Structure 1
Amino acid sequence: MARDYYEILGVRREASKDEIKKAYRRLARELHPDVNPDPATQERFKEVTQAYEVLSDESKRRMFDMGADPFAQSGAGGGFGGGAAGFPFDDIMNAFFGGGGGGGRGPRDRARRGRSIKVRVELDLSETAFGVTKDVTFPTAVLCDTCHGEGTANGTQRHTCDMCQGRGEVSQVTRSFLGQVMTTRPCPQCAGQGTVITDPCPDCAGEGRVRERVTRKVQIPAGVEDGTQIQLAGEGEIGPNGGPRGDIFLEIVQKPHPIFERRGDDLHCTVTVPMTAAALGASLTIETLDGEEEVDVRPGTNSDHVITLDGRGCRHLNDPGRGDLMIRVNVETPNKLDEEQEALLRKFAELRGENHPPGKFSPGHGNFFSRLRDAFGTR
C-alpha cells in the first residue's frame, strides 16, 4: 500500500475534486522534470501524479478510503514510469486547463441508435382539411431475422478482441512536455467494442439489420398544411447491432386544387357571373369541400364582391372549428353582341340615362403622407 495520497497532495480527506485538482496543478508546476531535473524531484513528481490519479477517480478514491489497493485489479504500479495504469493524457489536460473528466472507460456499447427518416406524403386538399389514415411506403433498416440483431452467423458468437483483450481501448506511451504520458484510445480492430465477429451473418454482413421497403399506416391529423412535419418517435431505422430506432418525420405536400386556393385555414375561389346575373341577382350552385351548396348573388353585385361561407374552410389543427370559404365575384361584360342584343342594351341604357355616361372619378389611395394627413384631419 502506498503512502497517504491525501498527505502527498496536501489536501484534507474531505477535499472536493476542485481542491484536489488545484493542489495537483500547483505541485506539478513545481516538480515537473522540465523545471527541476533532479532525480529525487522526478520521483516526487511521479508520486504526486499517482496520488492525483487515485483521488480524481471516484472508484479508485473509494477503494483507497476503504483501505484497498486501487491498482490491485490491474497489477499496475501507476505513475509515469510504465505499467498498465499510466496516467491518461486527457486527465492531465483537464488538471491543468479545466474541463470534465474522461468519463467511463471500458468497451463501448455495440448497439447504436438508428437514423431518422424523412418521408414526403402527398395529400389532396380534402385530406389535409379533414385528416386521413394513409398507407406510407418507404425504405428503411429493420432487424435481421436470421441473427436477431447479433450480426453473427447461426451457431457462432462474437469473440474477445485479441488486440485490446476485450477492454475496447488500447494504450500508448508518448513523450510530452510533462514527460512520459500514457494515452488511451478506442481499439481500432474492434472499434472500441471489445469483441469482434469472425463469422458474420450472411444476410446482414454482421450489421444486425437489413434494408427493406415497409408500409406503415399513419394517422394524418385534420388541419395540416403544405410543409407541415409530423414526428413519429421511434418509428425510423433500427440501429446497428439491434440499437433503438430513430424517428420518422412525415413532410406534408398538399397537391394543388383545381378550384380552391388555401390561405391558412381559409379557402378562396373566384366565380364569374354574367353582367345580367350580377344586375338582376342569381342563385348559383357552388362545389365546396362538404358538397354542393346554393349561393345567392344579390341584385346589383359588383365585381370583386366577396361572398363568405362561414365554417366551410379547413379544420383548425389541434383546435376545434374551421376556417371560411371566401368566394370572389367576377362580373363578366359581354364583348360580342348581335344586332338585337345591342339594340336592347342601348334601349336599356337610354332608359337609365346612361347612353352618354359622364363617368365617376374618385381620388386614388395617395401616398403615405397624404393618408397620414387625412387621418389627422389636417390640410
Structure 2
Amino acid sequence: MAESKRDYYEVLGVSKDADDATLKKAYRQIAKKYHPDMNPGDAEAEKKFKEASEAYAVLSDSEKRRQYDQLGHAAFDGGAGGAGGFGGFDFSGADFSDIFGDIFGDIFGGSRRGYSNQGPMKGMNVRKSVRITFEEAVFGTEKEMDIQLKESCPTCNGTGAKAGTSPETCRKCGGKGQVVYTQQSFFGTVQNVQTCPDCHGTGTIIKEKCPDCKGSGFISVNKKIKVNIPAGIDNGQSVRIREKGEPGTNGGPRGDLLVEVIVARHPIFQRQDTHIFSTVPISFAQATLGNDIRVKTVDGEVVYTVKPGTKTDTKVRLKGKGVPSLRNPKVRGDHYVTLVIQTPEKLSPEAKEALKHFDELTGNTLKQEIKPKKTKKKLFD
C-alpha cells in the first residue's frame, strides 16, 4: 500500500518547512549519488534514485506539496503504482531540466549548456622558488633565474604541422572543438557538451607533425629572468612576473611566473610580521651599574645605554629598526632586544675574593644560616 512508503521529507533528508532551494540541493546530491549511470546494475541504488525523484516531483510542486502535507501518500494513490512502485507515478509539472543537466555534466565531464566559443585562453602559471638571505628579505634584492620557457616553434610558426602542410579541420566536431552526446535518463533525453576527444578542443587535426616541436607548436627555450624582490617580503611569499608562464591558446596571453621566496634563517635575528627580535647578553656589572653596549641590528650596530639596576629578561625597543612594510616601504617595524644577564662560569681567585667582599657589603648572603623548617609533632603514631 502507498502508506508503506517512506515520508518524502525523510527521503530527501529535509525539514517540512524546507524552501525550494533546499529541496533542490538535497535532491541533486541524492540523484547524483544513486543515478543508474553512476551505479550500473545496482538495483538498490536505482530504487533509491527513483524514490528520491518521486519525492522531489511532489515537494517541488506547490499544489502537490499542499495535497501531500494534508493527505500524505493517499493523495496520489491513483498514480503511485502500488507500494514501493515508481513506474506509474505522474511526474508532470516537475522541472528536472536544470538539475539533470548539471548532474550529467558532472558524470560525463561535459556541460548541459550550448556550445561555448573556443576563444582565447590564458596559459598556465609556472612556479619556481628562489633562496635569499634574511637581510635581502628586509631590504629587497634582485635575483637572476635560469628557467625554461615555451616559445612558438620557428620551424612551423606555431602550427605544429610539418613544413608544406597545414592542420585540417577536425571531422568529428567540424572544427568547433566540442561534441554533443545524447544520454537517455530516467526522465527522458538529456544532451551534454564535451571537449572533442579527437582534437582536444582545438578544432583541428595535425596529420603530419612538425619534427622539431612534435606537433605541439612550441619548443623549450632556456632564458634568464630577473626577479625584483621587494623589501619586506617574508618567507613563503611569492613574486608574480606577468606573462612569463606557459603560452596561451587561441591567441590568449601567456600565464605568469610565480617565484616563491625562501628566506634563510639568521643566527641572531628572528622575525614576526614587520618586527625583529634578538637577545643580547650583558654582564652583572653592566646590569648593576649601567653601561653603554653595542647592539647588532639589520642597519648595523647601535649604542644603547643600559640603565643601572637592569634585571635579566628586560626588553628594549629600538623604534624603526625592524622590517619595511610591503605596502609602504617607508614604514618599518621595530627591533625588540631582550637583555640577559650572564653568570660567569670561571673566575680567578682575585675575582672570587672581590665577589665575596661585594657580598659582605650587600647583605652577606653567602653566610646566611639556613634553619630547618619546624614540623608538627604527631599526637599518635
Aligning the two structures, in what range does the TM-score lie when normalised by the shorter sequence?
A: 0.5 to 0.7
- Measured in 2, the distance between the counterparts of 1:268 and 1:114 equals 42
CA distance 1:127–1:172, shift in 2 (3 Å): closer
Aligned residue type for 2:126: I
Aligned residue type for 1:104: Y
- Measured in 1, the distance between the counterparts of 2:197 and 2:337 equals 69
> Does the 8 Å contact 1:143/1:242 carry over to 2?
no
- 5 Å-filtered alignment, 1:135-154, equals 135-154=144-163
> Does the 8 Å contact 1:128/1:222 carry over to 2?
yes
- 5 Å-filtered alignment, 1:217-296, equals 217-239=226-248, 243-296=252-305
1:324 equivalent in structure 2: 334
- 5 Å-filtered alignment, 1:177-216, equals 187-216=196-225
CA distance 1:198–1:135, shift in 2 (3 Å): same
How much identity, in percent, do the aligned residues show? 35
- Measured in 1, the distance between the counterparts of 2:149 and 2:246 equals 5
1:233, distance to aligned residue in structure 2 (A):
3.8
1:14 equivalent in structure 2: none
- Measured in 1, the distance between the counterparts of 2:126 and 2:191 equals 42
For the residue of structure 1 that corresponds to 2:150, the secondary structure is strand
CA distance 1:144–1:358, shift in 2 (3 Å): farther
- Measured in 2, the distance between the counterparts of 1:267 and 1:178 equals 66
2:312 equivalent in structure 1: 303
Report Cα offsets for 1:244-298 as digits up to 9, x if no partner.
3122222221110111111111111111122222222222223321122222222
- Measured in 2, the distance between the counterparts of 1:326 and 1:181 equals 67
- Measured in 1, the distance between the counterparts of 2:192 and 2:359 equals 100
CA RMSD of aligned residues (A): 3.4
CA distance 1:344–1:104, shift in 2 (3 Å): same
1:102 equivalent to 2:113? Answer yes
For the residue of structure 2 that corresponds to 1:342, the secondary structure is helix
> Does the 8 Å contact 2:274/2:334 carry over to 1?
yes
- Measured in 2, the distance between the counterparts of 1:323 and 1:182 equals 60
CA distance 1:272–1:164, shift in 2 (3 Å): closer
Which sits farther off after the overlay, 155-164 or 330-339? 155-164
CA distance 1:160–1:321, shift in 2 (3 Å): closer
1:358, distance to aligned residue in structure 2 (A):
6.8
For the residue of structure 2 that corresponds to 1:127, the secondary structure is helix
CA distance 1:155–1:303, shift in 2 (3 Å): same
- Measured in 2, the distance between the counterparts of 1:133 and 1:97 equals 54
Aligned residue type for 2:326: L
- Measured in 2, the distance between the counterparts of 1:325 and 1:278 equals 20
> Does the 8 Å contact 2:237/2:260 carry over to 1?
yes
1:348 equivalent to 2:358? Answer yes
5+ residue gaps, structure 1: 1-91, 360-379
1:155, distance to aligned residue in structure 2 (A):
3.2
> Does the 8 Å contact 1:150/1:241 carry over to 2?
no
- Measured in 1, the distance between the counterparts of 2:151 and 2:252 equals 11
Report Cα offsets for 1:318-339 as digits up to 9, x if no partner.
0231111111111111233232
TM-score (norm 1): 0.60
Aligned residue type for 2:221: E
Report Cα offsets for 1:128-150 as digits up to 9, x if no partner.
11222222333343332332322
1:166, distance to aligned residue in structure 2 (A):
4.2
1:310, distance to aligned residue in structure 2 (A):
0.8
> Does the 8 Å contact 1:150/1:242 carry over to 2?
no
CA distance 1:146–1:296, shift in 2 (3 Å): farther
Report Cα offsets for 1:189-216 as digits up to 9, x if no partner.
3334332212222221111112334321
CA distance 1:264–1:180, shift in 2 (3 Å): closer
> Does the 8 Å contact 2:178/2:194 carry over to 1?
yes
CA distance 1:275–1:196, shift in 2 (3 Å): same
1:156, distance to aligned residue in structure 2 (A):
2.5
- Measured in 2, the distance between the counterparts of 1:135 and 1:98 equals 50
TM-score (norm 2): 0.60
